[in-house]
Structure 1
Amino acid sequence: MTERRSTGLLLALATAVISGFAVFLNGYGVKAVGDATLYTTAKNGVSLVVLLALAATIGAAAGRRGRLPLTRPTSAAQWWGLAAVGVLGGAVAFVLFFEGLARASSTNSAFLHKTLLIWVALLAVPILGERLGVWHLLAIVLLVVGQVGLAGGVSALVGTGQALVLGATLLWAVEVVLAKRLLADLSSWTVALARMGLGSVVLILWSVARGELGAVLSWSASQWGWVLLTGAILAGYVSTWFAALARAQAVDVTAILVVGAVITAVLATAVQGVPLAPQTGWLLLVLAGGALMWAPARQRTREVAV
């Protein structure tokens, strides 16, 4: 395993932990605010501000070494790619996800979000030329089976809310492939800020068109607290996610992301009193699937295209 890939997987693991907390907390946040789209707009705006502050800090430090965290797109294709990432991944998918989260449980939403692995694998092989080996295939099986078990079976995934979350996940799969292409030439900070920046602009314009943006002025301190908390968490998710995607295969980092479901399940037990014992076997399958992504480098010689 190369040092670059190892770093990418560690960053993906950090993203998974953040995701586990985010999915659980967002279930409370979206219900506290009431309007899922407006909640998403405000939360993403907070995330953008945090990302800009982080980029400015890192840029100032890197500037003394002659390196900046941002790279300027040099072709029309890169500009269009960033626009697609911002609109699809940073706006439309978020609206679908949080509208769905307002109607479905956080556990089911977490599962559907983690099916991202399947859709990314289906796209990454033919489009990005990524290769899946024996360890990938075994890991995917373990992760999917474990997730189905945690969700309580496939029948628990039927409903309007679940359909919206699945739609968001499909859009995010497309975004992952686009972002991976862009990250070959652009820094992760460039892609992250384009996603959240353009996405926030689109969400604000949509809220203005709906005549609902002014409602944020009447939010309580508690509602703003949820927005600030989840917005800061989202900034951490986005920054580590694109950094991981820049260093390792899209399939690899997406597989590690599934481990976030374990965090969500543990939080549901600790806060909501959901029994953990019946889920232990499924959780172990998820952890085993994630662990397989750290298969020894020598196993890479057995990789085959699928």
Structure 2
Amino acid sequence: MNIEQKGIKMALLTALISGFAVFINKFAITNWASSSVFATSRNIITAIFLIAFLVSLKKFAELKNISRANWIKLALIGLIGGSIAFLMFFKALTLMSSTEAALIHKTLFLWVALFSYPFLKERLNLWQFAGLALFASAIFMPGITGTWTFGSGFWLALGATILWSAENIIAKITLKEVSPTVVAWARMFFGSMFLAVFVIATGEARALVPSSLAQAGWMIFSGAILFGYVTTWYYALKHSPATVVSSILVIAAPITVFLNSIFVTHTFPTRTIVPAIIMVLGILFISKQFEHLYSKYIKRRESAYS
């Protein structure tokens, strides 16, 4: 298995974590009076986990060798992806369903594809373009969600998604010289600092301390999930094209829809079956697996008969 395929497998793991994360955060956020306080406290927990992870891997020595230009990029990653986008997305979660929020977030691949061409010079072949088309058709397929509500929640979630796509472009460039673990740490460390400044400025600093065991439990649980997300995501982003790995994240959407249907609406999500199948086909196309199978079996068989 080559490095790119390992990155793709890690992106699949990230998608699984993401599918659970959006659903769980919808419940977690109800225990907090402010979405910004929840985002800040959770991100601080994730940053602490990542500091411990850096220590265990003996990665702190790497920080001494990071150039000034890369420190600026790491700070930007924290500002854009680790703070502003979180503030917007978690506010959106208080205004809309987890299903809608998840689907909007999974349009990430469209924005990454748009930015990757001019900034990363990524090129896709026809098979991969077919994969993008399959993802787009699946995520916008009528029935995967109920009715779209184009209110402030929609625009906040969309704005956050576009910011995350910009952050991913900066991260992809930074990952050429900085390890995935350090980039993940920087995103959450600097992001937590920016969020803390925001919370202090809005007079909500006291609310950062959990007032109940339920709050503390949700904060730690959600922070642990985010730790899993960022550590797997930046590994995937380093070793595989940004357009490819962001496309694979789409599979998280039906996971969130499924969880919401089972635990919230108590109905079996039959509407998600066809979109989920289309998304799996999209993964086979975007990851070049279908191209590989075609070359290995179909094309070889055609040559044998010719």
TM-score calculated relative to the size of structure 1: 0.89
- Equivalent pairs counted in the alignment come to 291
1:156 aligned counterpart, secondary structure = coil
Deviation at 1:99, TM superposition (A): 0.4
2:140 aligned counterpart, secondary structure = helix
1:216-271 deviation per Cα after TM superposition (whole angstroms, max 9, x unaligned): 34622112211111110000000100011010100111011111112212212321
Partner of 2:182: 190
Q: Provide the C-alpha distance between the structure 1 equivalents of 2:22 and 2:66, rounded to a whole number of angstroms.
A: 36
Q: Provide the C-alpha distance between the structure 2 equivalents of 1:255 and 1:101, rounded to a whole number of angstroms.
A: 22
Partner of 1:25: 24
Partner of 1:102: 94
Partner of 1:277: 270
Structure 1 contact 116–172 (Cα < 8 Å) conserved: yes
Does 112-121 or 276-285 show the bigger shift? 276-285
Q: Which runs of 5+ in 2 are unaligned?
A: 296-306
Distance 1:158 1:19, change over 3 A: same
Deviation at 1:126, TM superposition (A): 1.2
Which of 77, 92, 97 is residue 85 of structure 1 equivalent to? Answer: 77
Q: Provide the C-alpha distance between the structure 1 equivalents of 2:64 and 2:127, rounded to a whole number of angstroms.
A: 37
Report 1:256-275 matches (<5 A). 256-272=248-264, 273-275=266-268
Does 211-220 or 115-124 show the bigger shift? 211-220
Give the partner amino acid of 1:31: T
Structure 1 contact 58–69 (Cα < 8 Å) conserved: no
Q: Provide the C-alpha distance between the structure 1 equivalents of 2:67 and 2:223, rounded to a whole number of angstroms.
A: 31
2:148 aligned counterpart, secondary structure = helix
Give the partner amino acid of 2:254: V
Deviation at 1:274, TM superposition (A): 3.7
Q: Which runs of 5+ in 1 are unaligned?
A: 60-66
Deviation at 1:69, TM superposition (A): 8.2
Q: Provide the C-alpha distance between the structure 1 equivalents of 2:193 and 2:138, rounded to a whole number of angstroms.
A: 38
Distance 1:69 1:290, change over 3 A: farther
Q: Percent identity?
A: 35
Structure 1 contact 262–286 (Cα < 8 Å) conserved: no
Deviation at 1:44, TM superposition (A): 0.3
Query: 2:135 aligned with 1:143, yes or no?
Result: yes
Partner of 2:8: 9
Report 1:84-233 matches (<5 A). 84-149=76-141, 151-152=144-145, 156-217=148-209, 219-233=211-225
Q: Provide the C-alpha distance between the structure 2 equivalents of 1:35 and 1:291, rounded to a whole number of angstroms.
A: 41
Query: 2:39 aligned with 1:40, yes or no?
Result: yes
Does 68-77 or 16-25 show the bigger shift? 68-77
Partner of 1:62: none
Q: Provide the C-alpha distance between the structure 1 equivalents of 2:95 and 2:282, rounded to a whole number of angstroms.
A: 29
Q: Provide the C-alpha distance between the structure 1 equivalents of 2:272 and 2:125, rounded to a whole number of angstroms.
A: 28
Give the partner amino acid of 1:285: I
Deviation at 1:275, TM superposition (A): 3.2
Distance 1:69 1:241, change over 3 A: farther
Give the partner amino acid of 1:223: Q
2:176 aligned counterpart, secondary structure = coil
Q: Provide the C-alpha distance between the structure 2 equivalents of 1:291 and 1:68, rounded to a whole number of angstroms.
A: 38
Deviation at 1:37, TM superposition (A): 0.3
Distance 1:276 1:151, change over 3 A: closer
Distance 1:72 1:135, change over 3 A: farther
Give the partner amino acid of 1:106: S
1:136-174 deviation per Cα after TM superposition (whole angstroms, max 9, x unaligned): 211111112211225437x60511111101000010010
TM-score calculated relative to the size of structure 2: 0.89
Q: Provide the C-alpha distance between the structure 2 equivalents of 1:228 and 1:9, rounded to a whole number of angstroms.
A: 28
